[in-house]
Amino acid sequence: MKPALEKLINRKPQMQNHAEFTVSAVLLPLVETPAGTHILFETRSAHINRQPGEICFPGGMVEVHEAKDPLLTATRETTEELGINAGQVEVIGPLDYLLAPAGVIVYPFVGKILEPQKIVPNQDEVEEIFTVPVDFFLQNPPLVSSIEVATRFNQDFPFDKVPAAYKENWRKGWAFKVYFFAYGSRIIWGITAKIIVNFISLCWPENEHYQF
């Protein structure tokens, strides 16, 4: 028994069911403009299968060889989607990773695009790019709502093996916050908005608009 238990000494905990989730990484890209620091966004192409036409950050699914360092994914996808080289991306650091209800773990990073004038968006994936001043987010907190993820059982769920109360009352799901930013006619919401909230909260913890 002792040799088996010794395997736990100094072990770094990991997520038990990590393999059940899709893992992705994104970059929150900052660009310097004459009007100050802006955040760059993409509008996804209307021709792609997943979330066409939605506003997002550059990023994508973590490939097998990148599993130990999702930053590789974030920078690779950024260069592919914006048509720039890796030398034009100055990585600043990580934000907090998040677990999305759709079964996705997202690792966000912050970085600067050093020569934004050289961006040539990949038209197969990106409909357009645009920027929003960081000051806009500092001064305009998001609309906050929530969604509840309901519990649904498979037909073969063994109710006889759990307390009877669960059959009648095990209905309430996981409620999570959803953020919305309205910038002109554009709506920035969902995971992208949640990453912005984390960015502002970490870098400007004293901001009274983000005390939630």
The predicted structure's pLDDT at residue 171:
62
Is the pLDDT score of 200 beyond 80?
A: yes
| Mean local confidence (pLDDT), 184-205 | 97
Segment 99-141, tens digit of pLDDT: 988 889 999 999 999 999 999 999 999 999 999 999 999 999 9
List the one residue out of 139, 137, 111, 147 whose CA is nearest residue 197: 137
User: How many whole angstroms separate alpha carbon 4 and alpha carbon 115?
Assistant: 54
For CA atoms 198, 199, 203, 209, the dihedral sign is negative
Averaged pLDDT, 193-203: 98
166: amino acid identity, one letter: Y
Average pLDDT, the chain: 92
| Identity of residue 201 | S
Going by C-alpha positions, the residue among 126, 117, 124, 114 that lies closest to residue 86 is: 114
Mean pLDDT of the 193-211 span: 96
Question: Which range (17-21, 63-67, 91-95) has the least confidence?
Answer: 17-21
Q: Are 101 and 149 in contact (CB under 8 A)?
A: yes
176 strand-pairing partners? 147
- What is the C-alpha to C-alpha distance for residues 24 and 206, in angstroms, rounded to an integer? 30
Q: What pLDDT shows up at residue 47?
A: 79
- What was the pLDDT predicted at 25? 98
Question: The whole model's pTM is what?
Answer: 0.89
Under the banding of pLDDT at 50, 70 and 90, the label for residue 192 is very high
- Residue ranges and CATH numbers for the domains of the chain are 20-147+173-210 (3.90.79.10)
Percent of the chain with pLDDT over 90: 71
Greater confidence (119 vs 174) lies with 119
Helices vs strands, H then E, count in the chain: 5, 11
